[in-house]
Chain A
Amino acid sequence: MSGTLSTVAPFGPAAHLSCRECGHTTELGPKFACEECFGPLEISYDFGTVTREQIEAGPASIWRYAPLLPVPADVATRPTTNPGWTRLVRAQHLGRELGLANLHVKDDSGNPTHSFKDRVVAIAVQAAHAFGYTTLSCSSTGNLAGAVGAAAARAGLDSCVFIPSDLEKEKIVVASVYGGRLIAIDGTYDEVNRFCSELIGDELGEKWGFVNVNLRPYYAEGSKTLAYEIAEQLGWRLPEQIVVPVASGSQLTKIDKGFRELVKLGLVQDTPYKVIGAQGSGCAPVSQAYKDGIDVIRPVKQPDTIAKSLAIGNPADGPYVLDIARRSGGTVEDVTDEEIRAGVKLLARTEGIFAETAGGVTVGVLKKLADAGRLDPDALTVVINSGDGLKTLDAVSDCGPTAVIKPSLDAFRATL
C-alpha cells in the first residue's frame, strides 16, 4: 500500500554502537569511529530468545540469522542477493595429505558474486536504506567492489566504487559489469582507503553509504554469519581450530564475536577454539607483529603479494586479531607467493575446490602449520576459502593442457 510507513525496526535487535577500544556508547547512526578515542564502533544487541529450531526453519541464506543481525525482521522478503549458507565440505583427502583427521573447508566461493563479501554488503545495504542513502560506495581490493555493484543493482541503489588500478582483470570486470561507476585509483589499497575516508568528509560524498567506512559497524557484522553457519553445519558445535584470512582483520574479529554470541545465547556449548590468522608474506603486518611479540602493527607501505584481496598494509582491526590469536592459543602466520599457488592447487587437486589466492593463503598456512606439527591433528578443524579461483586466474597461469594432439588414438597413446 503506497504511503504506508514500515513499522519494522530497521536494525532488529541492535541496541546501540559501542567502542571496542574504550567502551564509549552512542546511538545507532552512520558512524564508524569513536568520538572519544577514534576506536572502532561496533554493534551491541538486546537479543531476545533465539532457538536452534527457529534458525533451522529460516531461509537457506544469512537471513536465517536475522534475529542476530542489525537488520529488519522481514529482511528476507526484501530484494537482496541472499548470500550465505555456503557449503561446509568435509575435506578427507586434504586432511589425509596434511595429517589432519577432522578437517572441513568453509567454501565461500559459492556466494552470489563468489566471495564472502556478499555477506557483509547485504547488511550494509539495509543500513543504507535505514539512513536514506541512495548511493552505495566502498574502497575495495576487488571482491568487495563486485559485491557492492551487485547488491546495489538488486536493491535499486546507485553505486560508485573505488579500487587500486592494478587489480586482477577478472575482478575489475566483475566490479564494473553491474552498471555502477568504477573508479580505479593509481595507488595502493591503503591510498584508496584514505581517499574514501576523505571523500566521506567532503560534500562530494555526502549522502553516500560507504559500506566499509561510515556503514562499517553494520557491514562488519555480516562476517559473524560465517561463524554461525560453521557452528550450525557442524551440528551446533564450535570448531577447535579455525584458519581465517586476514586483510583488515575484520572477518576474523567478527567470527570470534559470532562464536561468543552463540555461546552466550546457549546455542552451542562453550568449548575452546584456537583462531589462526593467515596472511601473504608480501603483506603480513599482523603476522609480523605476532612473531615479534608486540601489540603495535607497523604498516606495510608497498604490499607485494599475489593475494591482492588481502593486500591491506594498514589493517584497521589488526590489533584485535593479535588479541584473539593470543587469547585463544592460536597464531598468525604467513606464506609466500609460491606457497599460495601451491595451496590453491592442493585444495583443487584434493577436494575439487578452486580457491582464489586468499584461499591459497589459508590452505598454505594450514599446510605450513600442519607440516611443522603446530596443529592438533585430531582436532575439529575448519579452513576458510573466502573467494573463487576464477577471479585470480593469473596465479595458476601455468595450468593448461597436458598435451595438444591430433584427434587420433595413436596420438593420445603417445601422450600416456
Chain B
Amino acid sequence: MSITVRIPTILRTYTDGKAEVSVAGGTLAEVIDQLEADHTGIRARVLDDDGKLRRFVNVYVNDDDVRFAEGLGTAVPENGNVSIIPAVAGG
C-alpha cells in the first residue's frame, strides 16, 4: 500500500469523496486494476472499451506524462505517485 493516487473531482464519487487513495505498486495497468478492485466502476471511466487510456485523460507517474513513457505499461515505483487529470483544461 505504498503508491498514492490522486483522484480528480469527477471520480471522487467512486472513492467516497477522497482526493487521494493508496494502492500497491506495479505497472500503471496494475495500479488501475487495484483501483477497480477497491472502487468498482472507476476503470471504465479511465479506460475505453478497448482497454486503452481514454483520449481526454492525462495520467502522470511521478510528474511524468505516461504518454511520454510506456503508457499503461509504465512502471510505478514504490512510494511513487500517480495523478489522474482531465485533459480538457487550458488554452
Determine if chain A interacts with chain B.
Answer: yes
Which residues on A are within 8 Å of B, measured CB to CB?
21, 31-41, 139, 189-190, 193-194, 196-198, 200-202, 210, 212-213, 216, 247-251, 296, 298-299, 301, 312, 314-317, 319
Q: Does B1 interact with chain A (Cβ within 8 Å)?
A: no
Pairs A–B under 8 Å by Cβ, sample size 29: A31-B10, A32-B89, A33-B8, A33-B10, A33-B86, A37-B56, A38-B46, A38-B54, A38-B56, A38-B57, A39-B88, A139-B90, A190-B90, A194-B85, A196-B89, A196-B90, A197-B86, A200-B9, A201-B7, A213-B90, A216-B89, A247-B91, A248-B91, A296-B55, A299-B65, A301-B68, A314-B87, A316-B56, A319-B55
Q: A32-B88, A33-B88, A194-B60 are in contact. List 6 more A-B contacts (CB 8 A).
A: A35-B10, A35-B13, A37-B56, A38-B54, A194-B85, A202-B19
- Give the interface residue-count category, chain B: 20 to 34
Chain A residue nearest to B84 (CB atoms) is A38
Which residues on B are within 8 Å of A, measured CB to CB?
6-10, 13, 19, 45-46, 48, 54-58, 60, 65, 67-68, 83, 85-91
Q: Which residues of B contact A315 (CB under 8 A)?
A: 91
Q: Which residues of B contact A190 (CB under 8 A)?
A: 90
CA distance A41 to B13 in the complex (A): 19
Q: Do B88 and A36 touch (CB < 8 A)?
A: no
Chain A residue nearest to B83 (CB atoms) is A198
CA distance A247 to B56 in the complex (A): 16
Q: A316 touches which one: B10, B65, B87 (CB < 8 A)?
A: B87
Chain B residue nearest to A248 (CB atoms) is B91
Chain A residue nearest to B55 (CB atoms) is A319
Chain B residue nearest to A310 (CB atoms) is B91
